[in-house]
Amino acid sequence: MSTEIEINSYYSNPLGYTRGLFAQTANSTPVTNTIVETSLINGGVGSLSVPANFFKVGDSFRAVMAGVLNAANNQTIRIRVKAGSVILLDSLAEPITNITNDVFSLNVDFTIRQLGGPGVASIVSLGTFHYTKTSNGSIEGFAFNQVENTLFDTTVSNALEITVEWGAADPGNSIYSDIFILNKTY
C-alpha cells in the first residue's frame, strides 16, 4: 500500500464522523520545578504529523488534554500549541495560584483557513484551559485564541506539539497529562 493511500485512508472522513488521529497511551513526564518550556504530550497510537501539501481549506481538528496540576502561591503558567517550531496558539503568562492535585483540561480547536507557504497559509486556533479545585469544586481558568498567518506553512510537514512553561522554578509547580486525544472534526 502506498504512503499516499495510507495517509488518505487514515485522515479521510467520508461520513462526517469524528476521526481519531492520536491517543496518548501513558502519562506525560511531570513538568516540575523548572522554567524550561516542556512538552505535555507523551507517546501513543496514531500520528501528530500531517504531511506536506495534505491540508485542505476547512480542515478542522480538536485536541483534548487532561491531567493533574499543582501550583505554588502567586505563580504563572504559559501554554503553547505549535506546528513544529511555529507557534499556533500562545496563552502568554497566566496567573495561577495555590493549587494542590487539581484536575485540568485543555481543549484546542483549529481550522485551516488558507493554504500555502509562510505569509499565505492561515490557521485559526482557540484554546480553553480549566482546572477544578478539589478543595471547593470551583472551576477556574482562561481562554486564548490566535490567527497564525505569518509563519504557518502547509507546504511542509507539520507536527503538533503542546508545551507548558512555568513563570518560576518552584517545587510546588507541577503538571502532567493523563489523557491527550487529537481528532479531525471536519
> Tens digits of per-residue pLDDT, 164-179?
999 999 999 999 999 9
Q: What is the pLDDT of residues 73-116, one digit of tens each?
A: 999 999 999 999 999 999 999 999 889 999 999 999 999 999 99
State whether residue 15 is helix, strand or coil.
Answer: coil
pLDDT given for residue 19 in this prediction: 78
The rounded percent of the chain whose pLDDT value lies above 90 is 84
| Side chain identity, residue 17 | Y
Distances (CA, A) of 81 to 15, 61, 72, 128: 28, 13, 24, 12
Q: What range defines the domain where residue 47 resides?
A: 3-184
Number of domains in the chain: 1
Can you read off the three cell numbers belonging to residue 186?
471536519
Q: How confident is the model at residue 12 (pLDDT cuts 50, 70, 90)?
A: low
Distances (CA, A) of 52 to 55, 112, 117, 146, 183: 8, 14, 11, 22, 19
More confident residue, 75 or 136: 75
Can you read off the three cell numbers belonging to residue 184?
479531525
pLDDT given for residue 18 in this prediction: 58
Distances (CA, A) of 45 to 8, 41, 126, 128, 182: 17, 12, 24, 24, 11
| Residue 36: φ, ψ to 5° | -85, 130
pLDDT given for residue 97 in this prediction: 87
Quote the CA–CA distance of 141 and 77 in Å, as a whole number: 11
Q: How confident is the model at residue 134 (pLDDT cuts 50, 70, 90)?
A: confident
The rounded percent of the chain whose pLDDT value lies above 70 is 90
Neighbours of 5 (CB within 10 A): 9
pTM: 0.88
172, 138 contact by CB (below 8 A):
no
More confident residue, 1 or 70: 70
**Mean per-residue pLDDT over the chain, rounded:** 91
pLDDT given for residue 47 in this prediction: 95
pLDDT of 130 over the 60 cut? yes
Quote the CA–CA distance of 81 and 145 in Å, as a whole number: 11
CB neighbour list of residue 47: distance below 8 Å, 6 or more residues apart:
10, 21, 22
Q: What is the pLDDT of residues 30-48, one digit of tens each?
A: 999 999 999 999 999 999 9
| Side chain identity, residue 12 | S
Q: Tell me the mean pLDDT in the region 141-151.
A: 97
Beta strands at 44-46 and 19-24: parallel, antiparallel or unpaired? antiparallel
